[in-house]
Amino acid sequence: MKKNRITTTNKAAETFKTDLLVYLAVEVKDKMPLCPKAVQTQVKKAWELKDFRGKTGDQLLFYPPAKAPAKRVLVLGLGPVNREEDRAAALEALREAGGRLAKACEKARAKDLVISLPAPKHLAPGIAEYPVAAEMLTEGIILGDYRFVKYKETTKKKTDYPGLAAVKLVCPEGLKPVREGVRRGRNAAFAACASRDMANEPGNGWTSADFAAYAKVLAKETGLTYRCIEKKEMETLGMGGILAVNQGSSVPPRMVILEYRPEKKTETILLVGKGLTFDSGGISIKPSAGMEDMKYDMCGGAAVLSAMAAVAEEKPAVGVVAIVPATDNMSGSNAVHPGDIIRHFNGVTSEVINTDAEGRLILGDAMAFGIKTYTPTCVIDAATLTGAVIIGLGHHYTGLVSNNDALVRQLEAAGSTSGEPVWRLPLDKNFKKQIESKVADIKNTGGRPGGTITAAAYLSNFVDNTPWAHLDIAGTAWDFTEKTYIPKGPSGTATRTFINLIRNWETDTVKAVKKSKGR
């Protein structure tokens, strides 16, 4: 769907010619569902017949008389969303409804969709506003309408559903704030879909050069500042981590940087994303079963670059810098060996025990460089860093490790309002001890116990006292918990969490983060 094809109107919903006209209904215990007047007669009948109760996902589809302009009318159940006390859960119910609508459109082969927004009096207090409903439905529809067909050529059929062409949201009042809601939902969802597109590209379709090219085009279109550190400069700067990981590769490494500066001089948030375009494990080679999934090892990098597209559009008051260290991890006669000792950008030396623990090597250089260059208020990294996080948290939570309680609270809030929950794990000297090396300052693995945390312990060597949070998205970047708006394959996770974190970033947040204790 094109960005400008999501529109708003205050004309009556039933006046539009459309493939699918949608009304939403709220489940009420032992009573008729709450719904707009326009469909009350039908809903009452269906409810009396016990065909429709407004439960989550319940659908009542009918075909209006020939003189009505809509081809189909759908009433979609939202569940008891008027009684939902947990705001994040209420937002999620609307987002999931959006995802369901995208699926319903595919089933009906509807090219366009008109939705009558639910009345605030039918919604829980925390979300009882037209703009909030508009934002969540927009987000859910766009995310749910996502498909990746770029490489479908000879198997592509003319009859394949191409996705939605247009969506219209109907609201009786206050169109301006509703448009703002649509804009937020649209920016967040388009950014997450851009992340999915990058991730869906195979290792031979998305290399470090593609990361650089994407960022360069984005900067040109939006006014962001683009910079790319090439291999030569990395050598001069002493970025021994990313250079070591790249040793076996035929594609040079790149450190891609996008910078957003608001007009007034302010504080900066630094985002760093692991851009490992294919992880074979290197000399410590991975088993072949499932190795193809390691094209997704760049999802952290995708998330930070895509989030910058929304930042450029929304122009927040806080500055944001995104850095993506990008390379693949290959074996071969030039590849880094187990036992090799490398020297990172900040002077820390490291013994490479396992060449498959490569993410931390490229992130270390990127974080130390970013902190030295941009002196940010805080740094947040996102990385598909450890298989261990999947053992601990499954595919349902992103692992979070941080040295700053206030920053943790910000990320927990941004994550849950985005439907991307995070769960904090501890980090103390015992984990740091696991990565002490006999011959260098540190080593790159700490054994199996606490693998997600020892990986974070490694990263902690590159942040000094800067408030820092690490998101291990190995369990959520793909195969994420099944939801109506999350497809199989890459989810785009962390993109919307970053966008919402930045939207909520206020002067008070800066103060709290600066005051908050490190651990």
- Binding residues vs ligand BES (CB under 6 A): 279, 297, 354, 356-359, 384-388, 445, 451, 474
In this structure, are residues 108 and 66 in contact, taking their beta carbons and an 8 Å threshold?
Answer: no
Residue 383: CB minimum distance to ligand BES, A? 8
Cα–Cα distances in Å, from 353 out to 59, 350, 361, 383, 447? 55, 9, 12, 20, 10
Beta carbon nearer to ligand BES, 384 or 417 = 384
Residues 6+ apart with CB under 8 A from 508: none
Residue from 58, 112, 356, 381 touching Mn ion (CB under 5 A): that is 356
CA 359 from chain centre, in angstroms, equals: 19
- Which residues lie below 8 Å from residue 422, measured CB to CB, with a gap of 6+? 397, 398, 399, 400, 411, 412, 415, 471, 497
Interaction pattern, residues 391-420, with Zn ion; x per rule: CB under 5 A: ------------------------------
The verdict on 472 binding Mn ion (CB under 5 A) reads no
* From 95, 360, 432, 503, active-site residue: 360
CA-to-CA distance for 381 and 470, rounded, in angstroms? 5
Cβ nearer to Zn ion, comparing 359 with 490? 359
In the region spanning residues 258 to 277, those forming contacts with Zn ion, defined by CB under 5 A, are 276
Residue 298 or residue 502: which is nearer to Mn ion going by CB? Answer: 298
**Dist. CA 338–CA 264, nearest whole Å:** 48
The option from Zn ion, Mn ion, ligand BES, none interacting with 57 (CB < 5 to 8 A, set by class) reads: none
Choice between 237 and 440, CB closer to ligand BES: 440
- Contact indicator for 452, 386 with CB cutoff of 8 Å: yes
| Distance in Å, CB of 325 to ligand BES, minimum | 13
Is 360 tagged catalytic? yes
- Of the pair 354, 373, the CB lying nearest ligand BES is at 354
Helices 130-144, 175-200: inter-axial angle, 10-degree rounding: 20
The three-state (H, E, C) secondary structure of 130-146, written as one string: HHHHHHHHHHHHHHHCC
- Quick one: 13 or 353, whose CB is closer to ligand BES? 353
Cβ closest to Zn ion, residue 139 vs residue 356: 356
Strands (E) in 117-229, as ranges, are 166-170, 225-229
Task: Find the shortest distance in angstroms from Cβ 329 to Zn ion.
Answer: 6
Query: Of 286, 343, 409, 424, which one is the catalytic site residue?
Result: 286
Q: What is residue 266's three-state secondary structure?
A: coil
Indicate which single residue of 279, 365, 381, 472 sits in contact with Zn ion (rule: CB under 5 A).
279
Answer yes or no: are the C-beta atoms of 209 and 317 closer than 8 Å: no
b/e burial code for range 217-254 (CB count within 10 A of at least 16 → b): ebbeebebebbbbebeebeeeebbbbbbbbbbbebbbb
Closest CB 390 distance from ligand BES, rounded Å: 6
Copy the structure tokens of residue 330: 């290959």
Report the residue number, 370 or 451, with the smaller CB distance to ligand BES.
451
Query: Which of the listed partners (Zn ion, ligand BES, Mn ion, none) does 451 bind, with a CB threshold of 5 to 8 Å by partner kind?
Result: ligand BES
Q: Is 297 among the residues that bind Zn ion (CB under 5 A)?
A: yes
In the three-class reduction of DSSP (H, G, I as helix; E, B as strand; rest coil), residue 123 is classed as coil
Residues 270-309, interacting with Mn ion (CB under 5 A): 279
Q: How far apart are CA 431 and CA 461, in angstroms?
A: 12
Closest approach of ligand BES to the CB of residue 385, in Å:
6
Element (H, E) at 9: strand 6-9
> Which residues from 301-360 bind Zn ion, rule CB under 5 A?
359
Provide, rounded to whole angstroms, the least separation between the CB of residue 112 and Zn ion: 42
At 303, phi and psi to the nearest 5?
Answer: -65, -45
Q: Which residue is nearest to Zn ion (CB)?
A: 279
| Range in contact with Mn ion (rule: CB under 5 A) among 2-10, 257-265, 314-322, 352-360 | 352-360
Based on the shown chain and the rule CB under 5 A, indicate whether residue 203 belongs to the binding site for Zn ion. Answer: no
CA 484 vs CA 9, 103, 115: distances in Å: 26, 8, 18
Among 47, 42, 31, 39, CA closest to 80: 31
Could you confirm whether 3 is annotated as catalytic? no
CB 359 to ligand BES: min, Å: 5
Report, in Å, the least distance between residue 472 CB and Zn ion.
Answer: 11
Q: Which residues bind Mn ion (CB under 5 A)?
A: 279, 356, 358
Q: Which residues bind Zn ion (CB under 5 A)?
A: 276, 279, 297, 359
Catalytic residues: 286, 360
